[in-house]
Structure 1
């Protein structure tokens, strides 16, 4: 009798065309706003109209999404995601995703029936909730849909079903798949609106390098990144600078548009200004942020205004107070200043204006001309292998040689016609005298090189195990090539037409012996082998100074084997070939910067 009563349609509802809010019945009738008789598995309305009849699962039957805990790997620790702040944010994401209400709940039925909103493909309800908590996502409801899909597919396969399957009877695979697509799309679109902080930190630690620094100071560079990530977990300005720099490197590595990276850089600059305005007691945090932004600017020099070329008074006052203070300075701060000076050197070559003002540079020089301390291993990392410490001990003196060499290189760059007058005889005489003095300093630097630099590759292998000998040989080879490159640069600075500058010719012979010799000039990594990036500038100078087509082609081929998009090795190989051909046709030197602007339409990148 009860069943008969339930099957009788309500004539009143039929006659009046009910359109009020329906809080019970199948989801199909509720989306149509008609009264449902709630028969299971198919109501009379759906049966009569041949529609899919789907009921909302009972709350007692809903499945909870269980996430497996993240693996505790060494990488997770090194990229900063294992820190307290990083773990706190990840925990917030996890807990919020499990607490997010299912999109098939009562309050969202109408939104789901209407489909995904036009803007961004997100339901308005989800957008509103996400604005309140950007870490929420409807992950938990996906499991419910997937479970229902499995049940429906099992029924189609003819497998046995349980009594609990009755509530899923009318949920066809097509319906479930469409809902899964909507939910997963919603989640993924929401994810694009969040700053991927842990991912950026991991990429920063694993991938971000500096061609002017990393090949010559790799151990300290890795330690710096781990330490900076630790600072970034608790400081917004440092974190935003890491995110911007990581986005830039991804764009450079994969040939992607850099508009997103530029937006992140501008946001990081605002956070930097806010940091300065807050008057943070620890100036070294400001210094870390300054370094990260300057590294970004060294790669995007013509699209950014160098932070330290026209620094604000707040930064200058803070730097002056810090340099005059008697408090001890950390190894990280001194190392960062040394690296900033190296970045400035490459930014004044080829007619660049540099990254640092004279006032700031002089302040930096006052606190970094003494011994350069190595960075300690971060406390949250595993102890390094003993071979690393032995390598570090030997490599520190080699890097000191490289640093002093680059400071001399900056002085040579300032003698070019890009930075001073060279149109009068008196100008040329003055440059010749200064070059003679610089040449003596270069010879003196060579005479005081470390014991490791006086050994042949065979000697180093005979006295050191391969784990230490091989990277030391590679480092010494790059430093020696950089040393000989300065004599080639001097040959170009002295004048035109091509002169038989004896030391330049000898330097080119020495460089070719290194590259074709046993100095570990090639490296394996990232799926390909290539020449080490430390040889980029020496080979470029070799190619454009050599007036022999065969020798120039040798240098271009070696440049092509570097294969590093960050240092733009492909561009410099083409640049060197075209400039060399132009010089051979005209039988004279061609101005490097102006040829690049004429041939490629842009000033040359830093080298």
Structure 2
């Protein structure tokens, strides 16, 4: 007959170890809350490493101070809860630091450092933490006590090993929990954590003048920016400024925060220029990010319009040494040329001064950026898309020259001026036709032929790229007609170009994505179509297609309204109306870059 377990003086049998279901008493707080055995390895236990959880050990009873970044106050660990409760009127102003979670260092996980804002503009390096994603140890401690108090209220005995500091009502503990979490969130709101901004940059930031034509290298560039931003304050601050601007545009929220971050990144950029130990790749990367900000926020004054002597010296040294030019730096130079071409059209003065343009090297062939995980399909797409992007790059160089023939950039007041422009246009048209005749064999294929030769994973993006580049080519002939004449006089070349644009958009060139949105690469061809056709039906077709782009970064809805209003004005006046000045009169602002 089995013997009964012995009873104590109160007649209560002690809990047997093998049936214990209470909270684990040792190890990290994460394992204790999960009621699993913790190996107690430091700084992270094996359980947390395996499950990629936040590993937090309970702090010691005494207060400890931790070193912080220069220019900030020391952070002191909070007092025990019972000491805080005795002085409830005192505002909680301290939080304990959290060691970073173990994370996989790949393209999808970019979490390292935190930037602290002083007066909302001064950015300096701060502690490694992620307060909104993981609880602070003091909060875990309060939560343990709260759970214990609630168990007591339900008639359950708390675990004998729990560290209770004294009787307290659940309401008091909840209020303390609210006070501590609110304090932590207030402190966090004063910082700019790299993790959410870097993740947003990688996943969301695109450039309408670049990404549709060079999407693979654009994405690889973003990973390179994030990787360098982990250790370079100027690159990180410029990345955050661009991300803040894109968030403002996407969600239609005020851009004051983005403007403040842009000013801070400009200050960090000047410091970077004066640091001889920094590579020019870091300088060029930061330069490009600032130019990207100025391209989207087009009212900002481009910093390369009047470049500093320090930048010109570093650029001149780098341009003379071909051996120092990396694939990323050459790609960024090509993208800067694309941004500059877009900002010289429509009355814009460009992002880059002539001094800088003369020093930027032009490479006959651009090497693609290396991938961390190359595969056969990506390699094949790169082989097919590289000559198409080079075609587009040459096309935009010619487009920039066409833009400089307008009255925004040169005199058009005399007959002699007009004769000079006509001669230059004839030369430009010859170069355009030569460029088209020498396009790659891939660009000569129809969508049906490409789909029969290639897998859909490769064929579809190639077809999309060919379509937007062809539309961009035909758009230049529409632009030339507008540059040459007033009143309205459609040439045969312009009419043919408009028909080609319409056939491409409504054809089988993958103009629409899976959501039914039109590719942003068609923005300029459709806008030129809208303002050059003198028929309300055709104008309505172009406006409806512009409205299907639905891209707040390139302001497609604005250009749809702009194209419709400008065409109505031209039909009333029976002549072309200058687009820039009409935009200022009708909308109150100059037109954005396109």
TM-score by length of 1: 0.79
Q: Structure 1 residues 389 and 62 mapped into 2: Cα distance closer, same or farther (>3 Å)?
A: closer
Equivalence for 2:542:
555
The offset of 1:595, in angstroms, is: 0.8
Residue in 2 that maps onto 1:370:
364
1:605 is the counterpart of 2:556: no
Instruction: Please state how far the C-alpha of 1:327 moved relative to its aligned partner.
Output: 2.4
> Following superposition of structure 1 onto structure 2, how do residues 221-260 of structure 1 map, counting pairs within 5 Å?
221-260=218-257
Residues 79-118 of structure 1 aligned to structure 2 (within 5 Å): 101-105=77-81, 108=84, 113-116=88-91
Match of residue 7 from structure 2: none
* 1:340 matched to 2:330: no
Q: Tell me, what secondary structure is at the counterpart of 2:513?
A: strand
Partner of 2:348: 352
Instruction: Work out the CA distance in 1 between the residues paired with 2:50 and 2:234.
Output: 28
Structure 2, gaps ≥5 residues long: 1-24, 32-43, 53-67, 70-74, 99-115, 119-124
Which shifted more, 492-501 or 317-326? 317-326
Deviation of the 1:166 alpha carbon: 11
Aligned counterpart in structure 2 of residue 595 of structure 1, from 575, 579, 582 = 582
Measured in 2, the distance between the counterparts of 1:105 and 1:212 equals: 56
Contact 1:100 1:140 in 2 (8 A): no
Deviation at 1:65, TM superposition (A): 5.4
Query: Which of 313, 317, 336 is the matching residue for 1:321?
Result: 317
1: CA distance between counterparts of 2:163 and 2:314? Answer: 72
State the distance in 1 between where 2:409 and 2:50 align: 55
- Partner Cα distance (2:556, 2:573) in 1: 26
In 1, distance between residues paired with 2:324 and 2:127? Answer: 41
- For 1:59-458, list aligned pairs within 5 A: 64=29, 69=48, 101-105=77-81, 108=84, 113-116=88-91, 123-125=92-94, 134=127, 139-159=136-156, 170-280=167-277, 282-302=279-299, 304-364=300-360, 367-377=361-371, 381=372, 383-458=373-448
- Which residue pairs with 2:562 in the alignment? 575
1:573 Cα deviation after fit: 1.0
Alpha-carbon distance, 1:233 to partner: 1.4
What is the Cα-based RMSD across aligned positions, in Å? 2.8
* Alpha-carbon spacing, 1:226–1:155, altered in 2? closer, same or farther (3 Å): same
Per-residue deviation at 1:601? 0.5
Kept in 2, the 8 Å contact 1:149–1:173? The answer is yes
- Alpha-carbon contact 2:272-2:278 (below 8 Å) kept: no
Measure how far apart 1:540 and its partner are. Answer: 0.6
3-state SS in 1 of match to 2:486: coil
CA distance in 1: counterparts of 2:226 and 2:526, whole angstroms: 35
In the TM superposition, residue 149 of structure 1 has moved relative to its aligned partner by: 2.1
SS at match of 1:224: helix
| Structure 2 partner of 1:11 | none
CA apart distance, 1:163: 5.7
Whether the 8 Å contact between 1:224 and 1:332 is mirrored in structure 2 is: yes
Report if aligned partners of 2:447, 2:509 keep a CA contact under 8 Å in 1. Answer: yes
Deviation, structure 1 residue 162: 5.5
Question: Residue 534 of structure 1 aligns with which residue?
Answer: 521
Which whole-Å CA distance do the structure 2 matches of 1:180 and 1:229 have between them? 35
Q: How many residues align?
A: 508
Deviations 1:272-314 (Å, cap 9, x if unpaired)?
1111112235222211111111111111121x22121100111
Contact 1:342/1:403 (8 A) holds in 2 = yes
The residue matched to 1:195 in structure 2 has which SS?
A: strand
1:496 equivalent to 2:472? Answer no
2:469 is matched with: 479
Cα distance in 1 between the residues matched to 2:444 and 2:51: 44
Aligned mates of 1:473, 1:412 — CA distance in 2: 27
Whole-angstrom distance in 1 between the partners of 2:423 and 2:308: 37
CA distance in 2, matches of 1:494, 1:278: 49
TM-aligned CA distance change 1:239 to 1:281, over 3 Å: closer
Structure 1's 354 and 72: CA in aligned 2 closer, same or farther, altered over 3 A? farther
* Consecutive unaligned residues in structure 1, runs of 5 or more: 1-59, 74-91, 94-98, 117-122
1:202 deviates by 1.6
Is 1:514 matched up with 2:504?
A: yes
Tell me the CA shift for residue 325 of structure 1: 2.1
* Cα deviation code 1:126-165 (max 9, x no counterpart): 5999999755778112122222222333333344555678
Distance 1:569 1:469 in 2: 27
Q: Counterparts of 1:63 and 1:384 in 2: how far apart (Å)?
A: 40
Contact 1:148–1:171 under 8 Å retained in 2: no
Task: Answer yes or no: is the 8 Å Cα contact 1:347–1:355 preserved in 2.
Answer: yes
**Structure (1 or 2) with the larger CA radius of gyration:** 1
